[in-house]
Amino acid sequence: MKRFTTIALLFFSNIILCQNEVKENLVTFNTKEKNQKIITFYKNYEIENKSYLLEADNITSKEFVKCKWIKLLSAKDILYFSDLLKYIEPGSKVENNLFTIKHKKNKIIIKVNNSKCTSEHKMYYFQESCKRELTFVILPSEIQDIISALYLSAKNKNLVSK
């Protein structure tokens, strides 16, 4: 019986370890706004599914509660986002089901559609759940670094697997 439990323990612990997600950090940057955020794009390696993650955390202060956002994206979504950033004209606005991007006053405002805060904290007097969508501001000088990191990763077909 001891031999069986030892083998079962080793077998199940191996299965649990194999199910871990492996994330590769592609690009991380801080936003330039009053409510600063740390934005990170990851390449997410799972056993069968290779996708991308957009994770964001705002920096906690007296005026702002800590929020966290996670958005799952495909390689096509990353390429499309990179193209939108690359070709956006000053004074223009681009909307689609994933992103809303505005270029005004030497700033690029990006709103990630259908992204809700995942921190599970309560807001306001009646203790409603936080439902903030991710919105952040980047400068045109930062675009090239972001685009190159995302574009190279999404175009790379030789994905490393475990």
Q: How far apart are CA 150 and CA 41, in angstroms?
A: 8
Alpha helices (H) along 38-114: 75-87
**Residues 117-143 pLDDT 10s:** 777 665 555 666 677 888 899 888 888
**Residues 29-74 pLDDT 10s:** 888 888 888 999 988 877 566 788 889 988 777 777 788 888 888 8
This prediction's pTM: 0.74
Distance of CA 43 to the CA centre of its chain: 10
Q: How far apart are CA 101 and CA 85, in angstroms?
A: 8
What domains appear along the chain, each with residue ranges and CATH number?
A: 20-155 (2.30.31)
Alpha helices (H) along the chain: 2-18, 75-87, 143-155
32: Cβ contacts below 8 Å, ≥ 6 apart = 107, 137, 138, 139
Q: Are 43 and 52 in contact (CB under 8 A)?
A: yes
Q: How far apart are CA 16 and CA 101, in angstroms?
A: 40
